[in-house]
């Protein structure tokens, strides 16, 4: 296969032409494959991160709602006790009740 042709004064063999076309086709195919892999991997990673962030936001919302509900219920129970304070001061015998509430509701730092 030593058939050669002239193009602008340069001679190429058929073997060189076939190998050149094969290399160019392989490079184009690999570039397309790599770019598609990058695109879809990035898309999948973004969707996965978004899903995890949304789940974390939902869990945080639920935790805060439960905390608010618990605090509201404890405050309502304590508000129904008229004998907790006397002259804007807490009676000493009520302190065990407050400590019990704070033990069962660890999110409370203080009860006033």
pLDDT digits (tens, 9 = 90+) for 11-38: 889 999 999 999 999 999 999 999 999 9
Model pLDDT, residue 22:
97
Per residue in 90-104, pLDDT (tens digit) is: 778 878 877 887 787
Q: Which are the contacts of 97, defined by CB distance < 8 A and separation ≥ 6?
A: 78, 81, 84
What is the torsional sign of CA 80, 85, 90, 94? negative
Greater confidence (29 vs 68) lies with 29
Domain annotation covers residue 109 = no
Domain annotation covers residue 60 = yes
Q: What mean pLDDT value characterizes the chain?
A: 85
| Cα distance between residue 14 and residue 44, in whole Å | 45
Range of the domain at 36: 4-80
| Cα distance between residue 106 and residue 81, in whole Å | 21
Model pLDDT, residue 4:
53
Model pLDDT, residue 25:
97
Q: Is a pLDDT exceeding 90 seen at residue 65?
A: yes
Domain annotation covers residue 95 = no
**Helical spans, DSSP H, in the chain:** 14-79, 95-104
- Pair 107, 71: CB distance under 8 Å: yes
Domain annotation covers residue 12 = yes
Domain annotation covers residue 90 = no
Domain annotation covers residue 96 = no
Number of domains comprising the chain: 1
Domain annotation covers residue 27 = yes
- Pair 94, 84: CB distance under 8 Å: yes
């Amino acid at each position: 296969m030593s058939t050669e042709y002239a193009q602008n004064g340069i001679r190429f063999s058929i073997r060189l032409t076939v190998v050149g076309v094969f290399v160019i086709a392989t490079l184009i195919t690999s570039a397309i494959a790599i770019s598609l892999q990058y695109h879809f991997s990035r898309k999948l990673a973004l969707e996965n991160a978004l899903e995890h962030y949304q789940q974390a936001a939902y869990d945080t919302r639920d935790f805060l709602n439960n905390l608010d509900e618990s605090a509201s219920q404890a405050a309502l129970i304590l508000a129904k006790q008229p004998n907790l304070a006397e002259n804007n001061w807490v009676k000493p015998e009520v302190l065990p009740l407050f400590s019990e509430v704070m033990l069962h509701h660890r999110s409370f730092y203080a009860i006033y």
